[in-house]
Each structure stands twice: as C-alpha cells, then as structure tokens.
C-alpha cells in the first residue's frame, strides 16, 4: 500500500523543502519498522520544481492475523481481517494511517526545528492514494475531503480490468489537490483513511478519543460529517463516540443550541447499536465507585472535579444518595453537566438532591464540609504535582468527609493500550501518571497525615504483570477522629 505527496516549488522556495517538513532527506531511501510491517520513505522525484515523497508500507498479513488472534483483551479483530488472505497488504487502510503517524510524527505535529518558518506555510500539495478502501464509495470520499478545501478526484477502481462488466470494487484511486499546510493535510489523512476503511485493525482503546480530537483540532468540529467521522473512527464503539461527541461539543459550545446534546446522543445510538458493546472502562470505574460508596454507607456525596456530570447522573438514579454535589473548576464542564442532568426541567424533589457549583480543589472551601463521602475520579492527575498538597489539604485537612475515593490511571498498564506510543500518557492534560507503588506511597502518606486508613482496589482487568488500567484508593476516616478540620490541622 502506498501514498505519495507532491509539491511544486517557486523561485524563492524549492520544492525539496518538503524533505525538511517531513524530516526525511530527499536523497535517502529510509526504512522504518512498524508494528505490522516495514515502512519505506523514498522520493521518486526531487528537484527545485517538483518533489514527491512516497510512503510505502509492506505488511505481513499472516503476522497481522496471528497477532490479532493472540489478543483476546476484549476486542476481537475485525472479522474481515480474521483470515490470512486479506486486503491489508494492498489497500491504504488504517494501517497506513498508523504508519503515517509513526514515520511522519513531527510533520504531523507541525514541528520542524531545522526550518521552523516552513511549518505554517500553505504549499501546493497533491496527494495520491492509488488504492483506498472506501466503504461508502467515491461519493463519500468527496463528501469527506471537499469540505476541508481539497479538490477531490475519486475514481472507483474496477474489480477486474479485464472484466469491466463486473463493476467497481470497493477501492478508489484518490487524488487530493490544494494549497495546504502540510501538518493539516497529514492530519486529514490520519483521521479519514481509517474512517473510509471502516475496519480498524486494532482494539480501540479509550485514548483513541484523545488522538481523534488532537488530529481533528481546528477542522473536525466544523466538518458537516463530523458525526460519521467520529463514529467510524472510533470503530463504532458507542461509548467512546459519545465521549468524543461531547468533547467536540465543548469546542462547539459557542453555537450549541438547546437540543444539540440530545440529538447527538440519539444519532450516535442509531448509528451504532448493532455493534458489540464491551463495558467501557469509564463505566466500570463508575460502577466501582458506586459500589465503594454504598459499602461505606454514604448518603451525602461530593463529586469533586465532576467534569461533565456522568457520575452525578448515575448517583441520582440511586435513592441511597440523598444529596449529591458536583464541583469543577471548569465552567464549561459544568454547563455540559447541567444540560446532561436537565437541571432546569427536573422535578422539585429530584432537583433538591443535586447541586453543581464551580470551585477549585487547590483552595479550602467551606461548602465542602460535612459530607459522608467525596469522590475524586480521574482528577488528581490533572493537577501539577506541586499543587497536589493543596488539594490534599482542601479535601483531607479541611473538608474531611468520612470516606474519600480517589481513582487515577495506573501508568504500568499503558503498555497494554496497543495504540499508545511508549512513554505517552493517556490524556493530553495528564500532568503525571503513577505506578501502583507511587500511588500507594502517596495515598499511604496522605492517610497517615490526616487520620485516615486506606485500601486499594483494582478497576478493570487486573493484569498479572502490570495491574489494572485504573487504580482506586478508598480512604476511611479513623473512628476516633476528633480533629476538627482546619483548626486542628
């Protein structure tokens, strides 16, 4: 499978500048090994007037299938790929997108230390993909690329040239032409190749949402087909699609109308409800938190850093919880939460049980005192480490609920997310991610300093080597606690 990128030069800008932007010298042919095969970068032509870079990916289809079978971590490989004879070696699929992101990582991010002035420049680009699997056909290819400002040529490839009466295959020859910043062009391909392929070869992990939103920054939210793109990119995993749509809605919040959130929810359900639905980690986490709250006997609960209110919503459905307070530093998150909960339209008795307010956990806050339990679900890792003692004091020193439940990613598990490059955190905004030992160390010290005991529970599959994807600590205030919060601390 391959793809070419061509640009033309001007008197004051040689076409070979493309080599700088791609971080690959036009005089060399280079080979990179990727998870599924070998990627070659070479330049069939490179002079001042015209320069073409080609990315050629050699795939071992048998290894691909074997690797897929070995997995069994929730996600079966796509049925179409579960055979040794498959189209992967020939067709420009999601594998090509993955190779693209690996081989042209800096170019995709728009980084070019050697020639930073080139990065933001729009270049005349011509991108050709000779065999693009396109579920939805040439018409969909055009619908996806045209709104992004490309001139699109999408020609169906005949099933067999010798037998035109057999009609077209599901492949098209794609040519995109336009004046574009290279990083943007690569990000379009990175997202839309797998969308058109619609048969992702790898298990879609929760951090795919982050990747999609990063690659889609600046164009996806406004794209007329953003629903289709999002749902297909996430291989129709409904929970992830919904999360992505909600986060895209944040981007679009400015022109969000009353019903947008509901419409999105419905559209996503319709598009995807024939798919298998593994229990997403976020749901497992919510369930584990609710279990822990119930066994602590809590009725009045704080959800600190409640984000878009998913946990608050789940707690409201359970009459055990008589008072639920969600707080967050982000007003935007709270706006989404209040839409989700339909606070305005809620009956009086329901509305009396729930409150949302803005506040930062880096400061003590009188409003947080006197509750049975507080939840910090995937919050601590969003604070810079030096701010953590302030949060610790605000929660354990000042608010002092009977129970505190803290969840955070287990960084050891990251090697199990197939599409997460080594050394990366799961979310762009994570300031740190801890091993089990680091979390246990922190939690133990916090408990010791503030008169709590702590125990740890895994959330998600507890891998024998690397542990569970999410770690949870349940803190319980010592029974003989007679500190009075701030004064005593």
Q: What residues line the site for ligand SAH (CB under 6 A)?
A: 305-307, 310, 328-330, 333, 360-362, 377-379, 382-383
Least CB distance to ligand SAH at residue 166 (A): 51
Nearer to ligand SAH, 360 or 435 (CB): 360
Q: Residues 6 or more apart from 383 whose CB is under 8 A from it?
A: 361, 362, 391, 431
Q: 267 vs 329, which CB is nearer to ligand SAH?
A: 329
Nearer to ligand SAH, 57 or 379 (CB): 379
What is the smallest separation between the CB atom of 476 and ligand SAH, expressed in angstroms? 21
> Is the Cβ–Cβ distance between 372 and 400 less than 8 Å?
no
Non-local CB neighbours of 346 within 8 Å, separated by 6+ positions: 354
What is the DSSP annotation of 60-114? Answer: -HHHHHHHHHHH-SS-PPPGGGSSSS-STTTS--HHHHHHHHHHTHHHHHT--SS
Looking at the Cβ atoms of 128 and 378, the one nearer to ligand SAH is 378
CA distance to 196, 267, 286, 427, 468, per residue, from 408 (Å):
35, 31, 13, 12, 11
User: Other CB atoms closer than 10 Å to residue 222's CB: what's the count?
Assistant: 14
Q: Which is nearer to ligand SAH, 231 or 310 (CB)?
A: 310
Q: How far is the CB of 399 from ligand SAH (least distance, A)?
A: 13
Which has the closest alpha carbon to 115: 206, 225, 209, 25?
Answer: 25
Residue 457: C-alpha distances to residues 281, 288, 370 (Å): 14, 9, 25
The smaller minimum CB distance to ligand SAH, of residues 184 and 378, is found at 378
**Residue 286 Cβ, how far from ligand SAH at the closest point, in Å?**
8
Pick the closer one to ligand SAH by CB: 175 or 383.
383
Supply the minimum distance, in Å, between the C-beta of residue 307 and ligand SAH: 3
Residue number, nearest CB to ligand SAH = 307
Least Å from the CB of residue 364 to ligand SAH: 12
CB of 412 to ligand SAH, least distance (A): 20
CA 115, chain centre distance (Å) = 30
Nearest to 192 by CA among 273, 97, 281, 113: 97
């Amino acid at each position: 499978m391959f793809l070419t990128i061509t640009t033309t030069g001007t008197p004051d800008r040689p076409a070979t500048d493309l080599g700088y932007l791609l971080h690959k010298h036009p005089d060399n042919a280079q080979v990179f090994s990727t998870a599924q095969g070998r990627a070659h970068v070479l330049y069939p032509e490179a002079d001042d007037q015209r320069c073409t870079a080609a990315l050629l990916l050699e795939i071992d289809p048998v290894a691909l299938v074997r690797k897929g079978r070995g997995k069994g971590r929730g996600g079966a490989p796509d049925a179409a790929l579960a055979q040794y004879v498959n189209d992967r070696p020939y067709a420009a699929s999601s594998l090509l997108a993955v190779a693209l992101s690996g081989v042209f990582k800096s170019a995709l991010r728009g980084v070019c230390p050697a020639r930073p002035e080139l990065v933001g420049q729009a270049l005349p680009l011509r991108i050709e993909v000779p065999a693009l699997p396109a579920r939805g056909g040439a018409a969909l290819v055009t619908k996806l690329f045209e709104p992004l400002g490309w001139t699109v040529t999408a020609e169906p490839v005949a099933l067999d040239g010798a037998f035109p009466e057999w009609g077209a295959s599901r492949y098209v020859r794609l040519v995109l032409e336009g004046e574009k910043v290279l990083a943007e062009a690569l990000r379009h391909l990175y997202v839309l190749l797998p969308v058109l392929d619609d048969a992702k070869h790898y298990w879609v992990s929760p951090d795919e949402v982050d990747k999609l939103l990063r690659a889609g920054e600046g164009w996806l939210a406004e794209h007329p087909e953003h629903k289709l793109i999002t749902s297909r990119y996430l291989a129709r995993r409904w929970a992830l699609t919904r999360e992505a749509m909600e986060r895209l809605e944040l981007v679009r919040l400015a022109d969000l109308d009353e019903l947008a959130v509901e419409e999105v929810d419905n559209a996503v359900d319709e598009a995807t409800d024939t798919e298998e639905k593994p229990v997403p980690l976020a749901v497992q986490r919510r369930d584990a938190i609710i279990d822990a709250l119930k066994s602590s006997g809590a009725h009045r609960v704080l959800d600190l850093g409640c984000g878009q209110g998913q946990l608050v919503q789940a707690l409201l459905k359970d009459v055990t919880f008589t008072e639920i307070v969600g707080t967050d530093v982000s007003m935007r998150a709270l706006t989404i939460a209040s839409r989700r909960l339909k606070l305005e339209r809620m009956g009086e008795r329901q509305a009396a049980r729930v409150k949302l307010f803005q506040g930062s956990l880096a400061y003590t806050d009188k409003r947080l005192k006197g509750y049975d339990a507080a939840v910090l679900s995937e919050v601590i890792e969003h604070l810079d480490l030096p701010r953590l003692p302030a949060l610790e004091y605000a929660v354990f020193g000042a608010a002092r609920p009977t129970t505190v439940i803290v969840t955070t990613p287990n960084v050891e598990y990251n090697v199990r997310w197939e599409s997460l490059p080594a050394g990366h955190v799961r979310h762009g905004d994570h300031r740190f991610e801890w091993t089990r030992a680091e979390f246990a160390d922190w939690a133990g010290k916090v408990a010791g300093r503030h008169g709590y005991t702590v125990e740890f529970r895994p959330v998600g599959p507890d891998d024998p080597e690397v542990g569970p994807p999410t770690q949870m600590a349940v803190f319980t205030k010592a029974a003989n606690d007679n500190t009075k919060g701030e004064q005593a601390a």
